[in-house]
């Protein structure tokens, strides 16, 4: 029990760990992509500001190129107000001569790496944005070369901006996103754990139900709630349990029936054999005849039990194209050999349907044999069929004593016999059960009634007769190429 519980919790935990890992991976991927995109946007914005400053510097430098280089640098820096995080410097011969006043993000004159990078730029090299690692982090800068027409010296205007504020802003955004993602993961974990528990509850109930099932108790079922796939599984398992219960009931009934019905002939055979005098030829002969008769009855009983056991199998009937007219006529011809009766063919059906010709013949002959056993030579036994209201109706009727209401409730049950059949040693009590099984396998049923049609001449209140009707769904074949009648496979 404990091991099973651990297995259920393990499934739930594995589902949640998988969901959380995927969610965390998705959030991390989305956060990283967002950070990269935002970083690129911020850097592009800074680069735009730097390039705009370069344009303005070039305008200021070109206003009066005859001025000395130092004056051009000083005048330009005085007219230009640096933006937040921006540092401006004027270099003469590679050395800082003019810088923006404090407070500044960093002192450009102390950043040797930056000054060395500026000094490495050629005089004729176009202005472009460069990045250097400094003591305050990465710095992006651009250089505007300055020349004067009145002197030979040269200078440089440097515009530099530190990326550290941008990186700090991105780090703050990343931390906020991480906190929100963590909260979201916690909510996902809690909600997912509850949902997974609800979804896995039918599986837990299924485990408990299967543990509670035993050959003595197949009544346990799983509660059905919801409309999801697991609920459908619950319904399927419940249906399977129903089939198992039916199968166990059928098996138990078969064993009970076989044990009950076979015990009598076995006892009779054993008793007569034990009492038989082997030196008396007449007694040996009578015992021999009795034993053969009982063995024959046992054989018929076993065959009937096998047919009933097969009735619940999917392959009990094999549908084929059946000519109902031919089938009824063949059944009528065969039935006349059972005994001398007033045989009547009420009507036939001119139609081709999908059915099992062999099983229908078996059912109708069983009904005619039943009618013969309850009638005399002067009685009517009739066979007929009709199509009515989308159904096939095939019947056997007789003018015998009929079936009492009390017997009518049990004659279709296994080993159910009417009061007049109890002394019939050749009646196993399974015939009508087999007929009912054949009808059910065709999706139909068997009905018992009294003949009331005009062809029922000769019936009287003392002998009301009986009519057994097979009622099945009509499965018409419009253009049959090969139709079977009563001939077919053997049992």
Q: Percentage of the chain with pLDDT > 90?
A: 18
478 located within any domain:
no
The stretch 159-187 carries a mean pLDDT of 90
What total of structural domains would you count in the chain? 3
Most confident among 40-49, 58-67, 408-417 (mean pLDDT): 40-49
At residue 371, the 3 state secondary structure works out as helix
Question: Same domain, yes or no, for 74 and 118?
Answer: yes
Question: Same domain, yes or no, for 20 and 142?
Answer: yes
For residue 24, the domain's CATH number is 3.30.450
Question: Same domain, yes or no, for 137 and 233?
Answer: no
Cβ distance 159 to 57 under 8 Å? Answer: yes
Q: Which of 135, 170, 205 lies at the terminal end of a domain, its last residue?
A: 170
At residue 224, the 3 state secondary structure works out as coil
pTM above 0.85, yes or no: no
pLDDT of residue 182: 92
Residue 116 to residue 124: CA distance in whole angstroms = 17
The stretch 396-421 carries a mean pLDDT of 67
The stretch 398-403 carries a mean pLDDT of 84
Instruction: Indicate whether 357 pLDDT > 60.
Output: yes
Partnered with residue 236 across adjacent β-strands are none
Cβ distance 138 to 117 under 8 Å? Answer: no
Question: Same domain, yes or no, for 18 and 94?
Answer: yes
Point out the least confidently predicted range of 72-81, 85-94, 231-240, 377-386. 231-240
Instruction: Indicate whether 483 pLDDT > 70.
Output: no
CB atoms within 10 A of CB 116: 11
Most confident among 4-8, 394-398, 425-429, 464-468 (mean pLDDT): 394-398
Question: Same domain, yes or no, for 274 and 416?
Answer: no
Pairing mode of beta strands 380-388, 342-345: parallel
Residue 261 to residue 269: CA distance in whole angstroms = 13
Question: Same domain, yes or no, for 345 and 259?
Answer: no
The stretch 341-358 carries a mean pLDDT of 91
Question: Same domain, yes or no, for 304 and 324?
Answer: no
For residue 278, the domain's CATH number is 1.10.287.130
Question: Same domain, yes or no, for 272 and 338?
Answer: no
Which of the four pLDDT bands, split at 50, 70 and 90, describes residue 300? Answer: confident
Question: Same domain, yes or no, for 234 and 154?
Answer: no
Range of the structural domain that residue 260 is part of: 229-310
Question: Same domain, yes or no, for 456 and 408?
Answer: yes
What are the Cα distances from residue 160, in Å, to 82, 87, 101, 170? 10, 5, 14, 20
Q: 470: closest CA among 488, 444, 441, 433? A: 444
pLDDT of residue 469: 92
The stretch 267-288 carries a mean pLDDT of 84
Residue 296 to residue 290: CA distance in whole angstroms = 10
Question: Same domain, yes or no, for 28 and 88?
Answer: yes
For residue 467, the domain's CATH number is 3.30.565.10
Average pLDDT across the chain, whole number: 80
Instruction: Indicate whether 69 pLDDT > 90.
Output: no
pLDDT of residue 424: 47
Instruction: Indicate whether 179 pLDDT > 90.
Output: yes
139 located within any domain:
yes
Residue 109 to residue 17: CA distance in whole angstroms = 55
Residue of higher predicted confidence among 129 and 93: 129
252 located within any domain:
yes
What DSSP character marks residue 82?
A: P
pLDDT of residue 324: 92
Residue 331 to residue 359: CA distance in whole angstroms = 12
Instruction: Indicate whether 381 pLDDT > 90.
Output: yes
Question: Same domain, yes or no, for 283 and 335?
Answer: no
What DSSP character marks residue 103?
A: S
Partnered with residue 158 across adjacent β-strands are 89, 143
Cβ distance 58 to 144 under 8 Å? Answer: yes
What phi and psi values does residue 337 have, to the nearest 5 degrees? -80, -5
The stretch 20-45 carries a mean pLDDT of 90
279 located within any domain:
yes
pLDDT of residue 29: 93
């Amino acid at each position: 029990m404990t091991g099973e519980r651990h297995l259920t919790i393990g499934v739930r935990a594995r589902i949640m760990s998988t969901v959380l890992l995927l969610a965390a991976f998705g959030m991390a991927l989305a956060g990283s992509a967002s950070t990269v995109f935002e970083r690129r946007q911020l850097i592009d914005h800074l680069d735009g500001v730097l390039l705009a400053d370069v344009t303005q510097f070039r305008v200021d430098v070109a206003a009066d190129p005859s001025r000395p280089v130092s004056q051009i640098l000083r005048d330009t820096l005085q007219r230009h107000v640096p933006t937040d995080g921006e540092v401006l410097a004027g270099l003469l011969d590679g050395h800082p001569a003019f810088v923006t006043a404090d407070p500044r993000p960093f002192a450009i004159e102390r950043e040797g790496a930056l000054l060395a990078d500026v000094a490495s730029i050629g005089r004729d090299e176009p202005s472009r944005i460069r990045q250097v690692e400094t003591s305050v982090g990465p710095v992006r800068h651009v250089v505007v070369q300055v020349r004067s027409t009145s002197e030979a010296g040269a200078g440089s205007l440097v515009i530099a901006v530190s990326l550290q504020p941008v990186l700090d802003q991105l780090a703050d955004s990343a931390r906020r996103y991480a906190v929100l993602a963590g909260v979201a993961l916690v909510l996902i974990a809690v909600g997912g754990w509850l949902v997974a528990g609800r979804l896995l509850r039918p599986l837990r109930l299924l485990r408990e139900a299967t543990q509670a099932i035993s050959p003595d108790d197949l009544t346990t079922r799983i509660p059905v709630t919801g409309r999801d796939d697991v609920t459908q599984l619950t319904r399927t398992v419940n249906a399977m349990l129903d089939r198992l219960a039916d199968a166990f009931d059928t098996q138990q009934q078969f064993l009970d029936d076989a044990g009950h019905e076979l015990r009598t002939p076995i006892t009779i055979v054993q008793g007569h054999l034990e009492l038989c005098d082997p030196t008396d030829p007449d007694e040996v002969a009578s015992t021999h005849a009795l034993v053969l008769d009982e063995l024959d009855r046992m054989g018929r009983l076993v065959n009937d039990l096998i047919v009933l056991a097969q009735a619940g199998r999917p392959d009990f009937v094999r549908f084929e194209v059946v000519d109902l007219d031919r089938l009824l006529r063949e059944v009528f011809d065969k039935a006349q050999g059972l005994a001398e009766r007033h045989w009547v063919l009420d009507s036939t059906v001119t139609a081709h349907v999908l059915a099992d010709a062999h099983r229908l013949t078996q059912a109708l002959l069983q009904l005619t044999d039943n009618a013969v056993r309850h009638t005399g030579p002067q009685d009517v036994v009739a066979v007929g069929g009709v199509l009515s209201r989308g159904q096939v109706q095939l019947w056997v009727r007789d003018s015998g004593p009929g079936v009492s209401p009390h017997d009518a409730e049990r004659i279709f049950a296994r080993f159910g016999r009417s009061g007049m059949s109890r002394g019939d040693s050749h009646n196993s009590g399974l015939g009508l059960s087999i007929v009912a099984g054949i009808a059910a396998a065709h999706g139909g049923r068997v009905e018992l009634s009294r003949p009331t049609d005009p062809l029922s001449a000769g019936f009287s209140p003392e002998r009301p007769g009986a009519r057994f009707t097979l009622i099945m769904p009509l499965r018409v074949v419009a253009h049959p190429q090969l139709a079977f009648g009563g001939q077919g496979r053997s049992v």
